[in-house]
Amino acid sequence: MKTIKEYSQIVNNAIAALEYEATPSLYDPVRYTMEGEGKRLRPVLTLAVADALQADVEKALRPALGVELYHNFTLLHDDIMDNSPTRRGRQAVWKKWSPAQAILSGDAMFSVAMDCIIRSCYPDVQRLAMIECFNTTALAVDRGQQFDMDFERRSDVTLEEYIDMISLKTGALLAGACCIGAVCGNASEETRKAFNDFGISLGIAFQIQDDILDVYGDEASLGKPIGGDILNDKHTWLHICAVERAGADMESIYAGNLAGAEKIDAVRAVYDRLSLREEGEREVERYLQLAVEAVEKAGLPAEACRFFVDFAHSLIGRKK
């Protein structure tokens, strides 16, 4: 097994070498989106799962690129839906170009992602299984995004509904990245299920922590303004718990038409009074432990199992 950094560098090198068709107005936003050498955590998972199952890492690289391209495609469209002007400390694509251009270039990214899998060097049966996994993942993410949008029109969203939504919107992509890597390694159904459960639980932990960081994190390290979820009236883990336990206080804040820092401070004060940050962090740890328990059932060698346990802890600790 390699380190997370080593897998990440393999992906970054491959992204830098990607060639696009000669249509600058379509592909310049794609290049812009894929620029920079991030941790590439989802394709790292694809490569690491394949490696843990004794598959050829170089051979698994093209499907891993498909995972990363798809992930970034979702971000282009998410930023439009969330009206978010920045991404990773830079202008969002829709802001730098236009919403229409971001939609179209995002669609191109989806097609390039699928092409990476279709053109991978695997027998037809494995490529078909990867395509099925890719489509299942994409539809799960779409369902999660639809639930998220539906929640904006409701005031009675339950915590159970929210966990179901983020298991689709966030967990499914981590699980899908693992699934594609498992197909590269011809994994058994039991092993694929273990990795699926690992990705789902890790995704839930990841999202709850993001909810916390949006209110309590550092703007410089997050690459986006603090309090965006509050200003956009998003149903997050913190918000739903606050409405369930202090509904009258939350209603008075929103009825008062507060805006900007004043609104963020007022909502955060309710969260503080209910100790929701601390409770949320305990939930993050609980789902992190579920992820660890899942991967321990995958039947991997000790070194490989240790990698995924360390990966989970690294992911959750990424912005602390």
Supply the pLDDT for residue 94: 97
Confidence at residue 318, expressed as pLDDT on a 0 to 100 scale: 52
Instruction: Provide the whole-model pTM.
Output: 0.92
Rg (Cα) of the chain, in Å, rounded?
20
Structure confidence by residue, pLDDT tens digits, 63-82: 999 999 999 999 999 999 98
Residue 306: phi and psi, rounded to 5, are -60, -40
Local confidence band at 319 (pLDDT 50, 70, 90 cut-offs): very low
Tell me what pLDDT residue 223 has.
65
Indicate if the alpha-carbon torsion angle 182, 202, 94, 43 is positive or negative: negative
pLDDT tens, residue by residue, 221-243:
776 778 989 988 889 999 999 99
Do residues 102 and 29 make contact, with C-beta atoms less than 8 angstroms apart?
yes
Q: Three-class SS of residue 243?
A: helix
**E strands of the chain, at which residues?**
86-87, 90-91
Query: What CATH code is assigned to 4-316?
Result: 1.10.600.10
Domain spans of the chain? 4-316
Pairwise CA distance, residues 69 & 34, whole Å: 8
Model confidence pLDDT, tens digit, residues 85-100: 888 878 999 999 999 9
- Classify residue 17 as exposed, middle or buried by CB count within 10 Å of its CB (0-12, 13-18, 19+): exposed
Q: ∠ at Cα 119 (118, 120), nearest 5°? A: 95
* CA 173/CA 200 separation, integer angstroms: 8
Coil, strand or helix at 92: coil
d(CA 257, CA 319): 31
**DSSP per-residue string spanning 34-57:** H-S----HHHHHHHHHHHHTT--H
